[in-house]
Amino acid sequence: MLWSVFSIPPPRIDDILTVNRQVINTGDMMDFLTGGFYKPTVHRVVQPPHDQRAYDRLGAFYFSTANDNVRLLPLAHSPVLQRVGVERRCADEDAPLAGEWRKDLSISYGRVALKKGSESNTEEEVVGGIVVKHYN
């Protein structure tokens, strides 16, 4: 498996300087395309611990997204998805185009009243008929 869910404490600055690390955040589009196999990463940007605040931090970010006209359907022909099953976020005929999804998410951000989510410490909104979870 190329990716798995893991939980680690924030690293100490000495660990960062001596250990090579790479973190890959997946998003909603990967969740759609893999039928829930790759879950969107829950992440927040926070202040570093007090003992690390004097150090500069460097981040290299690369964003990749599907073309606007790609329908966000699970890639059902995948042998892996055929073996593990597919979780659909919506019916195939309701699946958004990538460009529509990106636009709808951008338009709703910070403008829609969030409702208490079904999971602990979550809030939810509906974007284009699809439930989007926000983790707090």
pLDDT in tens, 94-133: 999 999 999 998 888 888 888 998 888 888 999 988 988 8
Region 40-64 average pLDDT: 79
User: 10 Å Cβ neighbour count for 54?
Assistant: 8
How confident is residue 5, by pLDDT bands cut at 50, 70 and 90?
very low
State the pLDDT at residue 55.
Answer: 85
Q: Which of 65, 70, 74 is nearest to 106 (CA)?
A: 65
Cα–chain-centroid distance for residue 135?
11
Q: pLDDT value at position 1?
A: 36
Q: What are the CB-based long-range contacts (under 8 Å, 24+) for 69-72?
A: 69/97, 69/98, 69/99, 70/97, 70/98, 71/95, 71/96, 71/97, 71/98, 72/29, 72/32, 72/33, 72/96, 72/97, 72/98, 72/101
Q: Average pLDDT of the chain?
A: 81
Please tell me the predicted confidence (pLDDT) of residue 24.
66
Question: Which sequence spans correspond to the domains of the chain?
Answer: 13-96
**Would the pLDDT of 52 be above 70?**
yes
Model-level pTM greater than 0.85? no
Q: Does the pLDDT of residue 78 top 50, yes or no?
A: yes
Q: Which residues contact 49 (CB under 8 A, 6 or more apart)?
A: 10
